[in-house]
């Protein structure tokens, strides 16, 4: 789930990540993982501030702007 979301948010090759997950038959749908939609979205909204608070200077998550996260788009990345 994290690989799919972060590859998309960072502008990496999301389709390649999706293909790899599909070939590996790894679970990725929220329902299959037992994760609620709001849990994913709230985690993403807090991601930037968390990495800063925890001094994770090496994390690309520091650059994820929560204001630019489109809820439906993110959920769509996982539920295919």
Task: Look at the block and give the residue holding tokens 């590859």.
Answer: 7
| Domain extent for 53 | 2-78
Q: How many residues does the chain have?
A: 80
**Tell me, what DSSP letter sits at residue 55?**
T
Residue 1 has pLDDT above 90, yes or no: no
Whole-structure pTM value: 0.81
Give yes or no for a contact between 4 and 78, defined as CB atoms under 8 angstroms apart: yes
Instruction: Find where tokens 């389709």 sit.
Output: 15
Other beta carbons less than 10 A from residue 5's beta carbon: 21
Handedness of CA 48, 9, 37, 40 (dihedral sign): negative
Q: Is the pLDDT score of 40 beyond 90? A: yes
Total domain count, the chain: 1
Confidence band (pLDDT; 50, 70, 90) for 18?
very high
Query: Which of 31-35, 39-43, 66-70 has the lowest average pLDDT?
Result: 66-70
């Amino acid at each position: 789930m994290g690989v799919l979301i972060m590859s998309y948010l960072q502008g990496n090759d999301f389709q390649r990540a999706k293909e790899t997950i599909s070939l590996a038959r790894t679970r990725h749908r929220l329902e299959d993982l037992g994760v609620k939609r709001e849990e994913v979205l709230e985690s993403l909204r807090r991601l930037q501030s968390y990495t800063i608070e925890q001094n994770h200077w090496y994390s690309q998550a520091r650059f994820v702007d929560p204001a630019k996260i489109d809820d439906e788009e993110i959920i769509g990345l996982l539920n295919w």
